[in-house]
Structure 1
């Protein structure tokens, strides 16, 4: 029986995706149980998730032994291990994909070291798409300036994309434009637009973490009163931008040709500050036709004590803008915040890739 609190979230129109994947989850039946009992309808992954999974135990030993015997390099082994997990997860979620319009999706990320290289990102996305070879896979591409044309190119070739690492509404608008441009290219190429799916992963908790630290440094009563308010407000402004785009004639023409909307996805929804509710970035961002991708800890917290009180996002643009006006008034340079977050985000992605490489190298040596 599905957890009632998670079922209520799902019935409010929020697709619940798990931000985690491992061979153990796949083989033990845990992933299927989350579908059956926790209303989970998709999965997102990243190098940190795979690093933790591969280094956690013996679930990968058989395949690692074969890769070592075949003399595969570390990067070749990573490609095989990760695409194998994602392919099998796609198969588990295939019935969900068949029964729903946009769910049942599993995301896999292009190599993070390519975040500032458009052509290499496109090549990596194509290789992952071909290797996983499942229609319900999403290829994660970061929303860097170099990533934007890669998004258009990949969408234009009929590849479904999860655009990740979005922090600002300005960059989110550029992402939506890149998606529409890709759909227009695909239409010109005669590709069936209904086969293309996309989500735009708008990062949440890191915004509060960065802005709260700056507010505390300022230290005034006015500044301290704004702690914990920026992230949700930022997401509310992003949703207002999304509503503008889907109301445009440009989008309506693509929709009439069979295109699917690029749904907003609330990412980084694990709460970092223990002073805040551990369900803040789930309960505070309930709105239909969105995705919330959660680490298991957040999923379990909401299943235990989360509450759905209705739409928390639609029509909140003016209130959200007022928060940012107040942030500006106390001296927060929001543009600098978002620039810092993107730079740090890319650096963290690259560091996680290095950690994954080291873990796989260590595991391969054990099997040699």
Structure 2
């Protein structure tokens, strides 16, 4: 039987699960995915936690205890989410050790409402790092303009960072520079940068969702021929930036003390348009040195019928540039698309936080009424 996920890992792609729940932890499900599906990391967000808490009775005992203690909703969220992340980090510690800290990482996000506030983001990143207390944790910080200096400051404290919500190439260049500056400062501050990790999470499928909508509005054959191409082109050009940044003398100097590069991470890789192959955003973004964080359905789909067709990123840059140029030629502005996506992304993050608050508030009230 073909182990397609193993082929993907052998091609240099780290498979991370975009999900976490108490039930996955206690049932042995997540441990099984490490061994059977080559999962080497986990990413979380407020929507994932809201679903976990509303779907499972696994939290009932803890919620009842927190309700009896009279804690606030936000305090309860902090206790529940950091507890799950800590337990997941412990589960992934052997992977972390085996890969010298490259994989075995678990991400937890700063509150989305702080996305436009640099200082509060930095402070909460430090708090989450201290509360979880595991060196294989990533603190997720969004790549807003206000998030860029927070990334540098957090890394400078020796705290590993998952930079999330990246859409544009220009913003990614700023993220990479923030990473380099942060690691340089961490070195100056005396931190052990061999343990300092970072990924830059480029959102994929949402780019096609926005661009395809505009192509449908144009409606010409030329427009239809470009559907489903923008997201992959954008991610491939991001990898070109990655190659350029981590070939510089500046990086080479940082690398001499054992620092690891900030790997590109492909996020939002579940297909939104059912007419596209469900493994498209995995198959077309295969290259060594990247992470693909997938929902369970995408992992299962790839295990069943995914194809590793060699490196599908390196050497594709001119073709990718032509896709972006062709879209511009049709009047679809790249800069406008990525700005819309960032603004929407921040709004969606905030809405998901509200959803999590509502879920936990409801659970606390039910527990208190018993």
Give the TM-score of the pair, scaled to structure 1: 0.99
Aligned pairs for 1:230-269 (under 5 A) are 230-269=230-269
Cα displacement (A) at 1:66: 1.0
Cα displacement (A) at 1:57: 2.3
1:231-253 deviation line (CA, Å, top 9, x unaligned): 00001000000000000011111
Is 2:86–2:132's contact at 8 Å kept on the other side of the alignment?
A: yes
The 1-side partners of 2:125 and 2:190 are apart by 21
Cα displacement (A) at 1:221: 1.4
Is 2:23–2:56's contact at 8 Å kept on the other side of the alignment?
A: no
Aligned pairs for 1:1-368 (under 5 A) are 4-101=3-100, 102-368=102-368
Cα displacement (A) at 1:224: 1.2
Secondary structure in 1 matching 2:297: helix
1:271-315 deviation line (CA, Å, top 9, x unaligned): 000110000000110000100000001010001000101000011
The 1-side partners of 2:328 and 2:366 are apart by 54
1:119-175 deviation line (CA, Å, top 9, x unaligned): 000111111100100010000000000000000000000000000000011111100
1:207-227 deviation line (CA, Å, top 9, x unaligned): 000000001111111111100
1:297-351 deviation line (CA, Å, top 9, x unaligned): 1010001000101000011111100111111111101111000000000000000
The 2-side partners of 1:316 and 1:105 are apart by 29
The 1-side partners of 2:253 and 2:220 are apart by 50
Secondary structure in 1 matching 2:347: helix
Is 2:165–2:345's contact at 8 Å kept on the other side of the alignment?
A: yes
1:176-214 deviation line (CA, Å, top 9, x unaligned): 000001011111111111110000000000000000000
Runs of 4+ in 1 over 4 A off after TM superposition: none
The 2-side partners of 1:57 and 1:305 are apart by 30
Give the TM-score of the pair, scaled to structure 2: 0.98
The 1-side partners of 2:262 and 2:89 are apart by 20
Cα displacement (A) at 1:258: 1.5
